[in-house]
Chain A
Amino acid sequence: MASSCSQALRRHVCKSCTILQMHVSFFFIFIFFSEEIVIPKKKTWSKEAVLQALASTVSRDPTASDYRLQDDPYLTPKTSSEFKLFSLSQESGKNAAKYFINTYPKYFQKDYAQPHIPCLMPETLEAQIEEVSEAALIERIHMRKVEAAVDLYDQLQQAGTPVSLDVTNQLLDLICFYGDSDPAQENVPKQRSEETEDVQDEPQTKKGRASKASDQLKAAWKENNNAERIFALLSEPNTHSYSALIRGMVKYCAYSKAFSTYTDLLNNRLKADVNTFNALITAAPEVKEKYNEKWELIVDLLKEMAEQKVKPNLLTLNAVLKALRHCGTLGKSQAFPVISEMKALSIDPSLASYNHLLNIFYKPGAPFLGQTGILQEVMNEVSGKSFTPQDPDDGICLLLQRCLLTKDIEQAYRVHELLGVGENWRLLGKDLQQNIYYARFFSLLCMMENIDVMLKWYRDLVPSVYYPSSNIMRDLLQALDTDNRLDLIPQIWKDIKQLGHANRQKLVEDLLTLMAREKQNQEVQESFAECALDIKKMYDTGDRGKVIMSWTATSLSDIISVLLAAQRRQDAWEILKLFKTHNRVPSEELLNKFLMCIMESGEVNHAVELVQISAGFCLPETPKLIQRVQQEFQLSEQQKNILSDLEIQTFNSD
């Protein structure tokens, strides 16, 4: 206990030591995890040291991993796949516990909590009420059991029991939201759940990731499905019923049907509600072909909305803007008037509206003359405000993508600052969206900023928030190249190894090319040589079924150049032999370089072997090599014979 205590204590002391050391004296270049922790014998603090140390604990700790995970080196993930594995295994443990709790609820009924905490009580998964009645139907609707509810409704109809209009409307909502099939079982672990809304209020919010939503939407609206059938059975459908049906049709891509249902509604002299209109506006671009027809349809819908005295809401604005994306140049002219009208009705645009706006004005591939102003204006509007997620298209990722495409680093910084305001962290989305956001942020930084700023962000965000992909690491290497800081390459290589990208062929080859390009000064060259030998180990047969990289001629020559520049002839010699074993052909400049090195060292045997190797590959360079060796080396009789044999061979083969 004492030693583990002292170990833990040492780690703790060192963390606070390093925090103070950051301010008091700097003598480490620290890239994450590889800090050398040295405990000094005596330390003097400045007057503000305590305050500075306390201040550094308030903001996010860049050396810690995610809050969901345990704070222990063995349990901290080093790559993004490990992070995903750990958080998912924790979620599956939670699901296993939930299974036990819900299967044996009698052990969890005793209620200690005052006030009562409903989320800690076991849930009932099976419907309790068995007899055929309206209450049973309501229960199944609450449990989201679509098929059971439909069966029960049919049974009630056959038994002749009248079902009230409210309950039928709820049933229609349920069917139209889930598209007439049961929702997928929630065995897939839920990630950080977003805001969940009641089915009756907002059936249009798409839950889950984009992939899950598209899985649901793959089921298209079937002909004569239960929703339409039950709707037809209704003697007096009211606004709510029509609304449910139209929204379901739009969600499952039955657009023309939606419009015909709408005309039915008008023929029955009923009024539509705001959600119906939102759905119809979303469907409008799909129904018409030409831009102005689409716009006219939308304007007609808005006019009818005004006639029926239905107040538009934020989702209306977003639906109109989204539809305008499909309207080409007409969209550009109409976008701003729409926004100003909505503002007059006191509807504030959300992030989704700004996203749609940017999509309208920045067409992919079009030159952005005079359009950079819009991004800046949007950022002016948006900075400093706290947004709540209200629309499924709210997402800060798209704003950053716009900055990336227009290569605007100023706005990107403003977008990043926006994340720190109030509740905006929710807009970052789930892990996948977060990864995309940071990937874009980093690529923009690599492109636009100099290396010191880039490294500052790198140390801040990696790996506590983001585990970079191999593409980002390549961008980082390019940035190092542009700024001429190739001496940092060995440290970046250590990070690459830790992130698990050490077996990515393109990344490693890029790294080798950068190292081999120029001769550096002595110590840098030494570190390069160590790095090159380390990389060589990566190429050897990997264990545990890892992806093995294959040698190419360029990578081999790069390693040899690096080793030769660092005067490591023996290692270089061994790698030269690898050319034969892996069937790659060395280039002539490599052989020349090698020969020059050999001349410096004066190893005659090596020179002869070199010539033999090049003869073995039947290189056109061989005669010249032979001549050079004969001229510049003191050869023994045997070696002269060998060389003359080779000369004759190559002469004959020419």
Chain B
Amino acid sequence: MWDGNHDLDIVSSQLNSAACFRNIHCTAACLKNRAARIRVGKGDKSVTYEQAYHPHHIGHRKGWLSQHTSNLQGEDGAAERVVEDVFIRRFMYGTFHGCLADEVVIKRRGNLLVICAVMIQKLLPSKFYFLIGYTEELLSHFYKCPVQIEMQTVEEKVVYKYL
């Protein structure tokens, strides 16, 4: 009898271990070998430098799009920075709709948040300045830190190659 209880405990404890569970996969499948890569196509798709090089080229042929110190040893807040970055990128994409020529680069220096963007000369300069003032003010109040936008304009999206 003692052996039966013991066996039952062993079986149930093993049944409760993580290897025996099957959970529901809630998100879509995000394969890491398909992320941030534009696949080669017919040759009519224009692609910028940033888009042409794949993530394993970061640090070799590409730079980083987001620069902060949270990933250093002993620093915290990395997750919050990521969430802020995602929000800022969506905000910039929506506010300057159709004007962004390339990905937004976000730099943090101390308290200051610098958003560097390359824009197409689609709007009049006065409209650009309106949106810049609006973005800086809104994001400063939202994140409680000074936000600065450094903008550069190009006439058209700079094409690196056609895929």
Q: Which residues of A contact B (CB under 8 A)?
A: 1-5, 7-8, 69-72, 74-75, 77, 82, 85-87, 89-94, 96-98, 100-101, 107-108, 111-113, 117, 120-122
| Chain B 94-132 near chain A by CB (<8 Å), digits 1 or 0 | 000000011000000000000000100100011111111
- Top 3 closest pairs, chain A to chain B, by CB: A1-B49, A93-B133, A97-B137
In the assembled complex, 20 residue pairs joining A and B whose CB atoms fall closer than 8 Å, in A order, are A2-B158, A3-B158, A7-B154, A70-B150, A70-B151, A86-B126, A87-B129, A89-B126, A89-B130, A90-B132, A94-B134, A94-B136, A97-B133, A97-B135, A97-B137, A97-B141, A98-B137, A111-B144, A120-B140, A121-B141
Task: State in angstroms the CA–CA spacing of A254 and B137 once bound together.
Answer: 43
- Complex contact B130–A75 (CB within 8 A): no
Instruction: Indicate the member of A3, A74, A107 with the most B CB atoms within 10 Å.
Output: A74
B143 beta carbon closer than 8 Å to chain A: yes
- Complex contact A75–B129 (CB within 8 A): yes
- Complex contact A2–B151 (CB within 8 A): no
* Distance from A92 Cβ to chain B, minimum over Cβ atoms (Å): 6
Contacts of B118 in A (CB 8 A): 4
Instruction: Indicate the member of A75, A96, A98, A101 with the most B CB atoms within 10 Å.
Output: A75
Contacts of A2 in B (CB 8 A): 49, 158, 160
Contacts of A77 in B (CB 8 A): 125
B50 beta carbon closer than 8 Å to chain A: yes
Contacts of B158 in A (CB 8 A): 1-4
Task: State in angstroms the CA–CA spacing of A122 and B141 once bound together.
Answer: 8
Contacts of A85 in B (CB 8 A): 126
B152 beta carbon closer than 8 Å to chain A: yes
B142 beta carbon closer than 8 Å to chain A: yes
- When C-beta atoms are compared, the residue in chain A nearest to B111 turns out to be A113
- Complex contact B129–A93 (CB within 8 A): yes
- Complex contact B142–A74 (CB within 8 A): no
- When C-beta atoms are compared, the residue in chain B nearest to A75 turns out to be B125
Task: State in angstroms the CA–CA spacing of A74 and B131 once bound together.
Answer: 15
Contacts of A91 in B (CB 8 A): 133
- Complex contact A107–B49 (CB within 8 A): no
Task: State in angstroms the CA–CA spacing of A77 and B126 once bound together.
Answer: 10
- When C-beta atoms are compared, the residue in chain A nearest to B149 turns out to be A70
Q: Known interface pairs A97-B133, A117-B144. Does A4 touch B154 (Cβ–Cβ under 8 Å)?
A: yes
Instruction: Indicate the member of B102, B134, B135, B154 with the most A CB atoms within 10 Å.
Output: B134
B145 beta carbon closer than 8 Å to chain A: yes
Contacts of B152 in A (CB 8 A): 4, 8, 72
* Distance from B113 Cβ to chain A, minimum over Cβ atoms (Å): 11
* Distance from B161 Cβ to chain A, minimum over Cβ atoms (Å): 10
Size range of the chain B interface in the assembly: 35 or more
- When C-beta atoms are compared, the residue in chain A nearest to B151 turns out to be A70
- Complex contact B138–A101 (CB within 8 A): yes
- Complex contact B151–A120 (CB within 8 A): no
* Distance from A262 Cβ to chain B, minimum over Cβ atoms (Å): 47
Q: Which residues of B contact A (CB under 8 A)?
A: 48-50, 101-102, 118, 121, 125-138, 140-145, 149-154, 158, 160
Instruction: Indicate the member of B50, B129, B150 with the most A CB atoms within 10 Å.
Output: B129
Contacts of B131 in A (CB 8 A): 93
Task: State in angstroms the CA–CA spacing of A77 and B145 once bound together.
Answer: 29
Q: Known interface pairs A1-B102, A72-B152, A86-B125. Does A93 touch B141 (Cβ–Cβ under 8 Å)?
A: no
- Complex contact B153–A74 (CB within 8 A): yes
* Distance from B105 Cβ to chain A, minimum over Cβ atoms (Å): 11
Contacts of B101 in A (CB 8 A): 4
- Complex contact A89–B129 (CB within 8 A): yes
Contact of B127 among A1, A89, A100 (CB under 8 A): A89
Task: State in angstroms the CA–CA spacing of A3 and B155 once bound together.
Answer: 12
- Complex contact A113–B145 (CB within 8 A): yes
Task: State in angstroms the CA–CA spacing of A24 and B59 once bound together.
Answer: 37
* Distance from A67 Cβ to chain B, minimum over Cβ atoms (Å): 11
Contacts of B141 in A (CB 8 A): 97, 101, 108, 120-122
Q: Known interface pairs A74-B125, A98-B137. Does A92 touch B130 (Cβ–Cβ under 8 Å)?
A: yes
Q: Known interface pairs A1-B160, A2-B49. Does A96 touch B129 (Cβ–Cβ under 8 Å)?
A: no
* Distance from A475 Cβ to chain B, minimum over Cβ atoms (Å): 30
Task: State in angstroms the CA–CA spacing of A87 and B125 once bound together.
Answer: 11
Contacts of A120 in B (CB 8 A): 140-141, 144-145
Task: State in angstroms the CA–CA spacing of A545 and B72 once bound together.
Answer: 59
- Complex contact A94–B48 (CB within 8 A): no
Contacts of B127 in A (CB 8 A): 89
Task: State in angstroms the CA–CA spacing of A93 and B150 once bound together.
Answer: 16
* Distance from B18 Cβ to chain A, minimum over Cβ atoms (Å): 36
Task: State in angstroms the CA–CA spacing of A91 and B158 once bound together.
Answer: 31
Task: State in angstroms the CA–CA spacing of A5 and B154 once bound together.
Answer: 11
* Distance from B38 Cβ to chain A, minimum over Cβ atoms (Å): 14
- Complex contact B137–A93 (CB within 8 A): yes
Task: State in angstroms the CA–CA spacing of A94 and B50 once bound together.
Answer: 32
Contacts of A87 in B (CB 8 A): 129
Task: State in angstroms the CA–CA spacing of A111 and B143 once bound together.
Answer: 8
* Distance from B104 Cβ to chain A, minimum over Cβ atoms (Å): 13
* Distance from A147 Cβ to chain B, minimum over Cβ atoms (Å): 30
